[in-house]
Amino acid sequence: MRILIIHTRYHHFGGEDSVVDQEIKILDKKYTVDSLIFKNHVGFKGALLFASSIWNIKKAKIVKAKIKAFKPDIVHLHNWHFSTGPIIIRTIKKMGVPLVCTLHNYRLLCPSATLINKNNLFLNSLEQNFPWNAINNKVYKNSRILTFWLAFIVWSHKKIKTWDKINCFICLTPSMTKLYRGSKLGINHDRFFIKPHFVFPSKNNEMIEKGNDFIYVGRLSEEKGIHLLVQAFKHLPYNLKIIGDGPMREMIEKDIFEHKNISYISSMSREDIFFELRSASALINPSICLETFGLTIIESFSNHCAVITTNIGGPSEIVTNGINGIHFKIGDVEDLKRQIKIWFDYSDLKKEKMRNNAFQTYLELYSPDKQFGFFEDIYEKALNEVKNDFI
């Protein structure tokens, strides 16, 4: 089978980009794989790309030329926002190639993409045919104009049935699938499939003695709840190590300056992060949005690290409360502090059992070996649907 992966990278490399790289790597072991990678920009060039993303003919021609040259059996699309725009979906459909699309966020349902605004869940768009409340609340880049334009792009392509031309949508968790199936997007329920992400294990399997420090790995941004985590540890006698970067970096560095129990590292290699996970007491995921998944969580599981996480969205489905981690109430600093204390007071035996459960969860659900079954089922569905169109 010949598979063409199409993806638009964000200006700053992130989780979606990492997932695409990993999927290309694993698919290449069994299939003939090629990729077409675009990139978003900032400044004037980025503004032009965003403005033209409603109907970017230039990018459509690039996609058309790639399909003609590579002749794929399947096109697997990840991110179309905003460098290519949705027109490439119509181009792929016209060329008669089955199309699978991974939904990494909720952008088709709300311009925020994260269903969060000003530190609170923002679900208003789910009940509206056109997201006027999102526009008034400036949920995209704190701009009414940009929010309107993104909303209009999604809405206009819904009206001309662009999204209907995707044969299969991949969601990452049951809760994400439920939201999309129950939305006003109007796509047949049987086109949505669940395929979780995966991670490759560490190259170093050496077991390390566990310490008492907690760890956060991820983007330093509003929706990740990093500010709540810092507030919690200001009043706890335990150590926290923060690893990551993002728009809240300066604020976090300033906020933790006088708190010696909180340390910060802006970047680390993947293997160094895995070392930190293997030696940490537990990972904490304080996200305040409806996360579609939790890549850092399964990275933790792969390194025998249990997770303390919010009780909604993808993370709450990956982490089973009391089995391979602990849940706390979303956005509740006091409950987060309580659950951290509960974890810290667990016996060494109980902690070790939960860490072993975490690793077993990784092996059974999120290891590379489990991926081909998902891919084969979904790709076969897309191929059959296109065949039936021609019967």
Per-residue pLDDT band for 389 (boundaries 50, 70, 90) equals low
Q: What is the pLDDT of residue 386?
A: 81
CA 256 to CA 50: how far, in whole Å? 36
Kindly tell me if the per-residue pLDDT of 266 is higher than 80: yes
Q: What is the pLDDT of residue 222?
A: 87
In sequence order, what are the beta bridge partners of 128? none
Q: What is the pLDDT of residue 11?
A: 82
Tens of pLDDT, residue by residue over 88-139, are: 999 999 999 999 999 999 999 999 999 999 888 999 999 999 999 999 999 9
Q: What is the pLDDT of residue 19?
A: 95
Ordered by where they begin, the domains of the chain are 2-198+369-389 (3.40.50.2000), 214-366 (3.40.50.2000)
Q: What is the pLDDT of residue 204?
A: 85
Best CA proximity match to 227, nearest among 197, 201, 253: 253
Sign, Cα dihedral of 374, 377, 381, 383 = positive
Q: What is the pLDDT of residue 205?
A: 75
| pLDDT, mean of residues 26-55 | 97
- For the CA atoms of 180, 295, 376, 192, what is the dihedral angle to 10 degrees? 0
| pLDDT, mean of residues 79-83 | 97
Average pLDDT, the chain: 95
Tens of pLDDT, residue by residue over 134-153, are: 999 999 999 999 999 999 99
Best CA proximity match to 167, nearest among 55, 75, 80: 75
Higher pLDDT, 221 or 73: 73
Q: What is the pLDDT of residue 50?
A: 97
What is the reported pTM? 0.94
Per-residue pLDDT band for 391 (boundaries 50, 70, 90) equals very low
Kindly tell me if the per-residue pLDDT of 235 is higher than 70: yes
Q: What is the pLDDT of residue 208?
A: 86
Q: What is the pLDDT of residue 390?
A: 53
In sequence order, what are the beta bridge partners of 39? 9
Kindly tell me if the per-residue pLDDT of 193 is higher than 60: yes
Q: What is the pLDDT of residue 13?
A: 81
Task: List C-alpha distances in Å: 291 to 92, 110, 153.
Answer: 29, 14, 23
